[in-house]
Amino acid sequence: MEKFVITGGKPLHGEVTISGAKNAAVGILPATILAADVCVIENLPDISDVAVSLKILSTLGASIKMLNRNTYEIDTTHLNSTNVPDDLSRQMRASYYFLGALLSRFGKAQVAMPGGCNLGPRPIDQHLKVFSALGAEDSVDYGMITVRTKQELTGAHIFFDKVSVGATMNGMLSAVMAQGQTILENCAKEPHVVDLANFLNMCGADVRGAGTDVIKVRGVEKMHGCTYSIIPDQIEAGTYMIAAAATGGDVVINNIIPTHLEAISAKLMESGAHVVDGDDGREFFMRVSCENRPRAVNIKTLPYPGFPTDLQQPMMALLATAEGNSFIMENIFENRFNHVPELAKMGASISISSRTATVEGVEKLYGAPLCASDLRAGAALVIAALAAEGESTISQIHFIDRGYEFLEQKLRALGADIM
Ligand code: UD1
């Protein structure tokens, strides 16, 4: 069983380069199905969710060539199946994007109920609402979701009941080749929503408004391949920013888009860290340093541009040793506090009431045997272990491999003692 062994207490120093965005990659890879042609996707992070997405494409009949570690040529001209094998769909949440993409191109799709992190109930009613509005029927039997349509999909006006990243992206995927115009309202505005829209437009789609509440999709008859480079991962960047501050370090984070990081930058500055963004003429960077013990801050997770739920857990690791009491309200997922009992093993003082965690900052955390329960809980434990005194072991790191490219190597290059 693989695990990390981290000896904490060493401030991180140096430079780190951010990889391609996981949540954009896992939407864009299924979207290559719509091109029915050759696409070259660059800046794909080398993480297990991408490997699973590529495996699914390959089992559907796509021909895939690795051009280098982060660039793949994907030819979806001759697909021979619309059924995603259930063992693969259950390995990640994003397998639901294959429903929208396959339905759009072939009028049918079958995918097992998606897996992914256990953060409480994660319904997909808003995804099914779009498919049905466009004219498809769905059924869910024995954990298998089937969507199919007898006629061509037809554009519709859909108002989402909830702001959902997945449903917004599936809305675009399923509407790009429908007849007429689709209007999606109350959309998610995350950077990966915009990245998917940009990719679809490069393939000949007509998607407007991504990044705002209303997205308009005018159906096109046919799409084609393109070469596309995925945006940098805002959550990976945020994780290194928090790690720099939590260890009292000084880190330059390269290959970022500063506007994607405004919520996390603001909270880190409020807690006493120095955060400066810049442009070296080639790419943007962010420099984060912190000399003193962080101050307590309050956090409410919200859809973009609010504070991202994916950074709530890493931020709690930093606030565990802040001066004063922090209140952290998790508004997106019902149960995203699985990391709290692990932080408590290290000496953190955190109590949970419904969706709010009260973090009473302690002076120090101490190394302990820890277990990652999900992807971002794993990132939180890594940060806590880097800041703590003594040795920690973190098991179940396969969760962390789902979303962080070369975490161990990148941290080691920053001076961390991680094996
Ligand atoms: C995506 C991200 C995940 C991130 C989350 C919120 C991917 C692969 N994953 O997850 O990393 O934490 O956005 O930024 O991109 N909901 C419904 N019905 C639906 C869909 C969602 O009630 O049909 C609810 C969810 O239970 C949750 C909220 O809406 O409470 C937001 O979920 P959503 O934005 O859809 O998250 P995911 O797409 O699953």
> In this predicted model, what pLDDT tens digit does every residue of 319-373 receive, in sequence order?
999 999 999 999 999 889 999 999 999 999 999 999 999 999 999 999 999 999 9
Using the atom order of ligand 1, give the atom closest to the CA of residue 309: 12
Alpha-carbon span 398 to 378, nearest angstrom = 9
274, amino acid identity: H
Q: Which of 341, 357, 360, 338 has the alpha carbon at shortest distance from 349?
A: 360
DSSP characters over 307-374: B-GGGHHHHHHHHTTSBSEEEEE--S-TT--TTHHHHHHTT-EEEEETTEEEEE--S--B--EEE--S
Tens of pLDDT, residue by residue over 183-212, are 999 999 999 999 999 999 999 999 999 999
3-state secondary structure of 85: coil
Alpha-carbon span 208 to 194, nearest angstrom = 10
Confidence of residue 116 (pLDDT cuts 50, 70, 90): low
What DSSP designation does 419 have?
A: -
CA of 311 to the centre of ligand 1 (A): 14
Contact 399, 20 (CB under 8 A): no
∠ CA 357-358-364 to the nearest 5 degrees?
A: 115
Is 60 exceeded by the pLDDT of residue 119?
A: no
CA of 96 to the centre of ligand 1 (A): 11
Query: Atom 26, ligand 1: which residue's CA is nearest?
Result: 122
Residue 175 structure tokens = 């509407």
Q: Residue 376's pLDDT is what?
A: 96
Q: Which range is least confidently modeled, 109-118, 297-306, 409-418?
A: 109-118
Asked whether 129 lines ligand 1 (CB < 6 A), one says no
The mean pLDDT of 169-187, rounded to a whole number, is 98
Q: Residue 114's pLDDT is what?
A: 73
Confidence of residue 223 (pLDDT cuts 50, 70, 90): very high
CA of 166 to the centre of ligand 1 (A): 6
233, amino acid identity: D
β-pairing verdict for 227-229 and 38-42 = parallel
Query: Atom 3, ligand 1: which residue's CA is nearest?
Result: 310
Q: Which range is least confidently modeled, 101-110, 232-241, 248-257, 275-284?
A: 275-284
Alpha-carbon span 131 to 127, nearest angstrom = 7
Q: Residue 137's pLDDT is what?
A: 96
Q: Which range is least confidently modeled, 141-155, 190-204, 264-278?
A: 141-155
Q: Which range is least confidently modeled, 135-149, 237-251, 293-307?
A: 135-149
Residue 112 structure tokens = 């097992």
Asked whether 26 lines ligand 1 (CB < 6 A), one says yes
Q: How many CB atoms lie within 10 A of CB 140?
A: 12
Q: Cis omega before residue 305 (within 30°)?
A: yes
The mean pLDDT of 234-244, rounded to a whole number, is 98
Alpha-carbon span 34 to 206, nearest angstrom = 13
Q: Among residues of the chain, what percentage have pLDDT more than 70? A: 98
Q: Among residues of the chain, what percentage have pLDDT more than 90? A: 93
Residue 118 structure tokens = 């256990």
Query: Atom 25, ligand 1: which residue's CA is nearest?
Result: 122
Sequence-distant (≥ 6) Cβ neighbours of residue 282 within 8 angstroms: none
20: exposed, middle or buried (Cβ count in 10 Å: 0-12, 13-18, 19+): buried
Active site residues: 117
Tell me the HSE value of 228 on the side-chain side, using a 13 A CA sphere: 28
Query: Atom 4, ligand 1: which residue's CA is nearest?
Result: 310
Query: Atom 9, ligand 1: which residue's CA is nearest?
Result: 23
The mean pLDDT of 152-174, rounded to a whole number, is 97
Asked whether 309 lines ligand 1 (CB < 6 A), one says yes
CA of 184 to the centre of ligand 1 (A): 16
Tens of pLDDT, residue by residue over 91-108, are 888 999 999 999 999 999
Is 60 exceeded by the pLDDT of residue 174?
A: yes
Residue 315 structure tokens = 């931020």
Beta bridge partners of 276: 287
CA of 250 to the centre of ligand 1 (A): 33
Alpha-carbon span 173 to 170, nearest angstrom = 5
Alpha-carbon span 208 to 4, nearest angstrom = 44
Q: Which of 34, 106, 29 has the alpha carbon at shortest distance from 74?
A: 29
The mean pLDDT of 146-171, rounded to a whole number, is 97
The mean pLDDT of 67-77, rounded to a whole number, is 98
Asked whether 234 lines ligand 1 (CB < 6 A), one says no
